[in-house]
A and B are shown apart, each in its own frame.
Chain A
Amino acid sequence: MAILVIAEHDNQTLKPATRNAVTAATKLGSDITVLVAGEGCQAVADAAAKIAGVTKVLLAEAPELAHSLPENLAPLIAELGGSHEYLMATATSMGKSVMPRVAALLDVQQVSEIMSVEGPDTFTRPIYAGNAIATVQTSDAVKVLTVRGTAFDAAPAEGGSASVEKIASKGDAGLSKFIGQELSKSERPELTSARRVISGGRGMQNGENFKLLEAVADKIGAAIGASRAAVDAGFVPNDYQVGQTGKIVAPDLYIAVGISGAIQHLAGMKDSKVIVAINKDSEAPIFSVADYGLVGDLFKVMPELAEELSK
């Protein structure tokens, strides 16, 4: 049962999300190949070869693969569907864009965001913003899956010694062009893999006030997140959004500040190990999922918290 995992990377470094998909793959079999498609990404392939459990790395390098454009990447993955029973990627923005395109090329109904493997063709996945968990069985010969990163621990980055084999690109489909990107720069841990996250909502009032969260984040090495309302209001960039339609996080510690706790927000963080809610409204729904709730004005509480943590 050959399994192909699509690597997530920026041509220089392999993203940890790849290792979550590898762990999911180990639940299905032991013949695990990682596909690294990009341009000038030998270092990524070398890193993929070291992941524990990976038996082979396929490296496809071409200018048209540099930015993971689905139009160019999907045909390559679909072709590998001829020799692999499982095609999988973590449900990142790349995985979400590319895998359904692969599935349709193969006439396969993808299973999105699997949370567990129940059998060779049976998986659980969240529906209705995670308010229900469905067990689904697929009848397709090739299984195209995306993996919910928070549901599978990352496979160890070291321990493997897979061979790296070069394969050819399928060429430029000529349908799309990468124009540019504006990436948020941050010295902080990446949101989806951080062990601690502190998120702000509409209660923060403006972007400037996120400094109050940063002061605490600095003390505990946390990533910063936000509710949709905070992003819509322009307090912070879009990639901070946690929730059903944003990022899914499950850190050891999640601190929600000035966030009411709408179901769409809870969908993205309720699997965190410990949840802290700081809100001035004692009736806010966020308290129903919080292990520790503090009712109070965040503008008073947050400076105190930063202070207390320095002690």
Chain B
Amino acid sequence: MRVLVPVKRVIDYNVKVRVKPDGTGVDLANVKMSMNPFDEIAVEEAVRLKEAGKVEEVIAASIGPAQAQETIRTALAIGADRGILVTQEGAEPLAVAKILKALAEKEGVELVILGKQAIDDDSNQTGQMLAALLGWGQATFASKVELGDGKVTVTREVDGGLETDELKLPAIVTTDLRLNEPRYASLPNIMKAKKKQLDTVTAADLGVDAAPRLKTLKVVEPPKRGAGVKVATVQELVDKLKNEAKVI
């Protein structure tokens, strides 16, 4: 079986985001970029399935600028077999899902493991959209994935606790934080990754119209909270909560 893992190049999760003064977006110049953390978990899961002998090939794909190659190389260093870069900047989740559909069909994959959410746009849409476009089952927010014969059983983190669903293959899974702890790529594996196959295509090559549907009119900073005070004792805290803030 072949598995596709989409990996997005995003601002590193440790970076403090700054909104551009002109309100057109956030400042990405000279900012550290990394693989979306949920996608690292997705790559790790796919590679573990391969190591367990349940999967033959893991393909990592990224849709983005030329630099997204680095993100793909990171996936290859974790253990993905080959990569595909689709050069298309600013694609929205629907367009990404259309591109991934084309890739999934072309490569004949039976499982796509995505992150549940990209930490830049915080959309939480792409996996579900891809499932709809392909007409496959979907299991979002996975904390456990068991690949069986013609089916996959997934434990999911839902609002009330955990839910287990079974999907017919081919299927879509999106990862949550507790699915696994991604490994650090070793130096030899980073070197090996440089030699792995990485193809580049465009959205147009795949016959996808990636024109955006949304127009961002402006981007602003959220309202700042006023400075608070330090209290010295528990008595003072309770007094403030009762008599000043009036919340208890």
Contact = CB atoms under 8 A, between A and B. Distances in A.
Helix, strand, loop or mixed for chain A's interface?
mixed
B234 A292 contact: no
B184 to A, nearest CB: 17
Interface residues of A, number: 89
Given A97-B138, A135-B218, A292 B120 contact: no
A133 B220 contact: yes
Contacts of B212: 109
B19 A232 contact: no
8 contacts: A100-B129, A105-B132, A131-B221, A138-B215, A181-B161, A292-B230, A304-B234, A305-B237
Contacts of A274: 241, 245, 247
A104 B172 CA distance: 14
Contact of A181 (B130, B160, B238): B160
A138 to B, nearest CB: 5
The 8 A-B residue pairs with the shortest CB-CB distance in the complex, in nearest-first order: A175-B137, A109-B213, A104-B129, A100-B128, A104-B132, A100-B125, A291-B228, A93-B158
A107 B97 CA distance: 11
A287 B227 CA distance: 9
Interface stretch (B10-18, B66-74, B77-85): B10-18
Contacts of B162: 181-183, 237-238
B217 A183 contact: no
Interface stretch (A33-41, A122-130, A158-166, A204-212): A122-130
Given A134-B216, A244-B122, A292 B231 contact: yes
A182 B93 contact: no
A291 B245 contact: yes
Interface string A134-169: 111111100000000000000000000000000000
B214 to A, nearest CB: 5
Contacts of A308: 234-235, 238
A179 B152 CA distance: 12
A70 interface: yes
A293 interface: yes
The range of chain B's interface size is 35 or more
Contact of A270 (B165, B166, B178, B225): B225
B137 A176 contact: yes
Interface of B: 11, 13, 16-17, 19, 26, 38, 92-94, 97, 116-117, 119-133, 135-141, 143, 153, 156-168, 171, 176-178, 212-222, 225-226, 228-231, 233-235, 237-238, 240-241, 245, 247-248
A265 interface: no
B211 to A, nearest CB: 10
A253 interface: yes
Interface stretch (A22-30, A52-60, A79-87, A110-118): A110-118
A295 interface: yes
A100 B93 contact: yes
A129 B122 contact: yes
A136 B161 CA distance: 33
A238 B144 CA distance: 13
A295 B232 CA distance: 8
A292 B241 contact: yes
Given A93-B158, A97-B140, A183-B160, A130 B238 contact: no
Interface in A190-212: 192, 196
A128 B15 CA distance: 10
A98 B213 CA distance: 20
B124 A126 contact: no
Contacts of B163: 67, 178, 180-182
